[in-house]
Amino acid sequence: MVCSVLRRVARAHVCLVRRASHVCRGHQQRAWGSRPAAPDFAAPGAPGSVLQLLGKSYLQDDHTNLTQKVLSKVGRNLHNQQHHPLWLIKERVKEHFYKQYVGRFGTPLFSVYEDLSPVVTTWQNFDSLLIPADHPSRKKGDNYYLNRTHMLRAHTSAHQWDLLRAGLDAFLVVGDVYRRDQIDCQHYPVFHQLEGVRLFSKHELFAGIKDGESLQLFEHSPRSAHKQETHSMEATKLVEFDLKQTLIRLVAHLFGDGLEVRWVDCYFPFTHPSFEMEIKFHGEWLEVLGCGVMEQQLVNSAGAQDRIGWAFGVGLERLAMTLYDIPDIRLFWSEDDRFLKQFRLLDIHQKVKFQPLSKYPALTNDISFWLPSENYTENDFYDLVRTIGGDLVEKVDLIDKFEHPNDLQHGDEFHGCHISLAPRFASRQGKPHSTEQLFLILIFLAPGSHQSAFYLYRFPYRRHFI
C-alpha cells in the first residue's frame, strides 16, 4: 500500500503542484484579498491577543483553539428558533414536563433555562462535576478552549452546580454544546442537549411509602455497583425508579406508547449508578440518553446536603433525526427554506417526515499527508476540513496509516465524501466552487509541517456545481 502510494505521488507530483498553485493563487486573490483579517480558516490569535465573544473579552493563550467556523455558530441558538425541528422537540419535552409535573400551587414543578451562555469556566465544565484532572474528556483535542480558564461548554451539565447552588431542585437546561469530533452524518462540532435534574427531600421521596417515616436517605456503607457509600439502598432504589419512570413517560410522549425499553449500565463521573436508555424503534435498538443518581458529593458541594436526586441528558439532534427521518446532522444548520418550511407546523405534535432537498450524487476524494512531528490530533484535521469545505463535506474516514521505512515519518490517508445539501455552493464572489478546487485549496491551508508533505487525490475531474 505504502509503496503504491509513493509511486503514484512521484508520478503526479509536478502536475499536481502546478495545478494546485494556479488554483490557489486565484482563490487567494479573490477570496482573501478583500478581507485579510477574517479568512474562513482563522488560526487562534497569538497569546496575549483578545477574543471578543457574546459581548465579553477573553485573553487568548497557548490553549486557545477556536476556529471561525465554530465561532460563527455561537449565538445561533437553533433550539430557540420557532418551527426549527430542534425547537419542536424542545417544545414537546417542555410541554410534557409542564403538564405531568405540577407543584403545590398549580405551577410547573420544573423550571426551564434555555438562554444560558455557552461560555463557561473549565471549573464549571469539569471540576464542579467531579471530572478528574487527568480525565481524557478534558483534552484540548476534544474541546474548544477560549483560554486555559474558559471554554465553550461540552455539555449542559456545566450549569448543574450553579442552579443547585441557587436553590433549585427541579429544572431543565437546553442549549448548544461544543465538541471536536469526527466528520460524518451523525457528528458535528456543535449540537444541542437537554438536561434534567430533580432533587428529593426525605419527606418527598418516602411520602406514601409504608413506614416511610423510619427510612433514611443517607447511611455510611461501602460503595457498590448499586449505590453510593452515603446513600441508603431504599433511597437509591426509589430515586432510580422515579428516574426511569420519568424517562419512560417522556419517550412514550415523543415516540408513542408500546415502546420496548432497556437500560444499560454505564459510567459517568457525576452519577452513580448510571444508565443509558435504549428503545426499540422500527426494529432497531437506539441509544436515546444517559442518566443516573447524582453523585452526593456534587449535591453537597452545591449546598443541598439534605437532598438526593437524579439527572439525565439527551441530544436534541438524535431525537429529531429519529422522529423526523432527517438523515444528516448538517441539515439542522441549513437556512434553505425548502428545509425549514417542512417543519412549520400548526401543531408541534403533528407527524412530519423530512423530504430530501438534493438529487446530486456524492463525490469521493482521497488525501494523504505526512503528519507534523508533534501537537497533532485527528480532530485538528477534521476542524480544517470543516473550515475549508464547510457543510459540503459529508464524511471523512481514516482509511490507512503509514510510516516511512527510512526516517520513520508518519502519515495518514483519509477518504472524504461530499454531497450537496443545497442547490448551490458559492464562493464569496458568488462563483461556484468545484469539488476539485475545494480540495486543492486544502493543500495550502493544511496544518504546516517542517517535514515535506504529500497529498494524494482520487476524484473525477468533472465539475460538480452545487
Residue 216 binned pLDDT confidence (cut-offs 50, 70, 90):
very high
- 452 pLDDT above the threshold of 90: no
pLDDT band per the 50, 70, 90 thresholds, residue 420 = very low
Q: Which three cell numbers stand for residue 315?
A: 441530544
Helix (H, G, I), strand (E, B) or coil at 244: helix
DSSP 430: S
Specify the pLDDT at position 448: 40
Q: What's the pLDDT score for residue 11?
A: 43
Q: What is the pLDDT of residue 390?
A: 66
What's the CA gap between 188 and 177, in Å, rounded? 10
314-337 exposure pattern, b = at least 16 Cβ within 10 A, e = fewer = bbbbbbbbbbbebebbbbbbeeee
Kindly tell me if the per-residue pLDDT of 425 is higher than 50.
Answer: no
Q: What is the pLDDT of residues 291-327, one digit of tens each?
A: 999 999 999 999 999 999 999 999 999 999 999 999 9
Q: Say which range, 38-47, 125-134, 155-164, 219-228, has the weakest mean pLDDT.
A: 38-47
Does residue 48 carry a pLDDT above 50? Answer: yes
Amino acid sitting at position 363: L
What percentage of the chain exceeds 90 in pLDDT? 60
> CA-CA distance, 175 to 10, in Å (whole number)?
49
pLDDT of 24 over the 90 cut: no
User: What stretch of H or E contains 242?
Assistant: helix 233-255
**pLDDT of the residue at 360:** 64
Q: Please tell me the predicted confidence (pLDDT) of residue 405.
A: 66
Q: Give the Å distances, CA to CA, from 11 to 365, 452, 458.
A: 18, 16, 14
pLDDT at 359 > cutoff 80: no
CATH 3.30.930.10-classified regions of the chain: 51-343
pLDDT above 80 (res 373): no
pLDDT on residue 433: 43
> Which pLDDT belongs to residue 377?
76
In this structure, of 172-186, 267-281, 448-462, the range with the lowest mean pLDDT score is: 448-462
Instruction: Record the pTM.
Output: 0.76
DSSP 8-state assignment for residue 280: E
Question: Quick one: pLDDT band at residue 385, thresholds 50, 70, 90?
Answer: confident
Provide mean pLDDT across the span 437-457.
38
51-343 CATH fold: BirA Bifunctional Protein; domain 2 (3.30.930)
Distant-in-sequence, close-in-space partners of 285: CB < 8 Å, separation ≥ 6: 262, 278, 279
pLDDT of residue 146: 97
Inter-CA distances, 233 with 211, 219, 254, 273, Å:
15, 9, 32, 12
Is residue 421 very low, low, confident or very high in pLDDT (cuts 50, 70, 90)?
very low
Q: Which DSSP letter does residue 276 get?
A: E
Q: Where is pLDDT greater, at 442 or 203?
A: 203
Name the average pLDDT for the chain: 80
Angle separating helix axes 316-324 and 85-100, nearest 10 degrees = 100
Q: Which residue has the higher pLDDT, 31 or 427?
A: 427
Is the per-residue pLDDT at 52 higher than 80? yes
Q: Provide the strand spans (E) within 17-122.
A: 50-53, 56-59, 111-113, 119-121
**Residue 141 clears pLDDT 50, i.e. is over it:** yes
Is the domain 363-458 a CATH 2.60.120 member? no
pLDDT at residue 409, rounded to an integer = 59
Q: Which tens digit of pLDDT belongs to each residue from 87-98? A: 999 999 999 999
465 pLDDT more than 80 = no
Looking at the chain, which residues constitute the CATH 3.30.70 domain(s)? 363-458
List pLDDT tens digits, range 169-212: 999 999 999 999 887 788 899 999 999 999 999 999 999 888 88
Helix axes 378-389, 435-445, angle to 10 degrees: 130
